[in-house]
Amino acid sequence: MAESGTIHNSIVSLGGKPKIAYFSMEIGIDENIPSYSGGLGILSGDTIKSCADLNVPVVGITLLSENGYFYQKLDEFGNQIELPTKFSISNFLQELPSNTTVEIEGRDVKVRPWLYKYCGVCGYIVPVFFLDTNVAGNTDKDRQLTKYLYGGDEKYRLAQEIILGIGGVRILRDLGYTTIDKYHMNEGHAALGTLELYDQSNDVEKVRQQCVFTTHTPVAAGHDQFDLNMAKSMIGKILPEFILDDICFENRLNMTRLALFFSHYINGVAKKHGEVSRMMFPGYSIDSITNGVHSATWVCEPFQRLFDKHIPGWRSDPYSLRAASGMDKTEIWNAHMEAKRELINFINKQCNASMNYNDFTIGFARRQTAYKRPDLLISDPNRLMNIADKVGPIQIIYSGKAHPNDGGGKESIRNIFDAMKKIKGNIKMAYIQNYEMSIAKMMVSGVDLWLNTPRRPMEASGTSGMKAAHNGVPQFSTLDGWWIEGWIENITGWSIGSRKSNERESDDDADRRDLYNKLESWIMPKFYKDRDNWIRTMRSCIAINASFFNTNRMIQQYVLNAYFI
Ligand X SMILES: *Cc1c(COP(=O)(O)O)cnc(C)c1O
Give contact residues for ligand X (rule: CB under 6 A).
38-39, 42, 366-367, 435-437, 440, 462-464, 467
CB of 434 to ligand X, least distance (A): 10
> 174 or 436: whose CB is closer to ligand X?
436
Q: How many CA atoms lie within 13 Å of 7's alpha carbon, on the beta-carbon side?
A: 22
What distance in Å separates the CA atoms of residue 435 and residue 165, rounded to the nearest whole number? 29
CB of 49 to ligand X, least distance (A): 13
- DSSP strand E in 152-309: where? 182-186, 211-214, 225-227, 248-249, 252-254, 265-268, 287-288
> 42 or 58: whose CB is closer to ligand X?
42
Helix axes 407-423 and 381-391, enclosed angle (nearest 10): 50
Burial 216-247 (b: 16+ CB within 10 A, else e): bbbeeeebbbbebeebeebbbeebeeebeeeb
> 435 or 534: whose CB is closer to ligand X?
435
> 28 or 274: whose CB is closer to ligand X?
28
Count of residues making up the chain: 565
Evaluate whether 132 touches 112 at the Cβ level (below 8 Å): yes
Residue among 424, 335, 411, 416 nearest 378 (CA)? 416
Evaluate whether 185 touches 213 at the Cβ level (below 8 Å): yes
Dihedrals phi, psi of 260, to nearest 5 degrees: -65, -45
> 423 or 430: whose CB is closer to ligand X?
430
CB of 179 to ligand X, least distance (A): 32
> 170 or 294: whose CB is closer to ligand X?
294
> 144 or 290: whose CB is closer to ligand X?
290
CB of 440 to ligand X, least distance (A): 3
CB of 30 to ligand X, least distance (A): 13
What distance in Å separates the CA atoms of residue 172 and residue 169, rounded to the nearest whole number? 5
CB of 400 to ligand X, least distance (A): 8
Cα–chain center distance at 291: 9
> 437 or 535: whose CB is closer to ligand X?
437
Q: In this structure, what DSSP letter does residue 448 have? A: S
Burial 351-362 (b: 16+ CB within 10 A, else e): bebebeeebbbb
> 112 or 470: whose CB is closer to ligand X?
470
> 189 or 467: whose CB is closer to ligand X?
467
Q: What value does the CA radius of gyration of the chain take, rounded to a whole number of Å?
A: 24
CB of 516 to ligand X, least distance (A): 21
CB of 290 to ligand X, least distance (A): 13
What distance in Å separates the CA atoms of residue 141 and residue 236, rounded to the nearest whole number? 19
Ranges of H-type helices in 392-434: 407-423
CB of 42 to ligand X, least distance (A): 5
> 216 or 428: whose CB is closer to ligand X?
216
CB of 477 to ligand X, least distance (A): 9
CB of 464 to ligand X, least distance (A): 3
CB of 62 to ligand X, least distance (A): 16
Residues 6+ apart with CB under 8 A from 478: 452, 453, 454, 455, 456, 459, 495, 496, 497, 506, 511
> 440 or 538: whose CB is closer to ligand X?
440
Q: Is 462 left (phi over 0), alpha (psi -120 to 50) or beta?
A: left
Q: What share of the chain is helix, strand, coil (3-state, %, to 5)?
A: 45, 20, 35
> 31 or 331: whose CB is closer to ligand X?
31
Evaluate whether 526 touches 229 at the Cβ level (below 8 Å): no
> 464 or 495: whose CB is closer to ligand X?
464
What distance in Å separates the CA atoms of residue 138 and residue 112, rounded to the nearest whole number? 11
CB atoms within 10 A of CB 122: 11
Q: What would the DSSP string read from start to end of 379-403? A: SSHHHHHHHHHHH--EEEEEE----
Dihedrals phi, psi of 72, to nearest 5 degrees: -95, 125
CB of 462 to ligand X, least distance (A): 4
Q: Find the helix or strand (DSSP H, E) in which 246 lies.
A: helix 244-247
CB of 466 to ligand X, least distance (A): 8
Q: Tell me, what amino acid is at 92? A: F
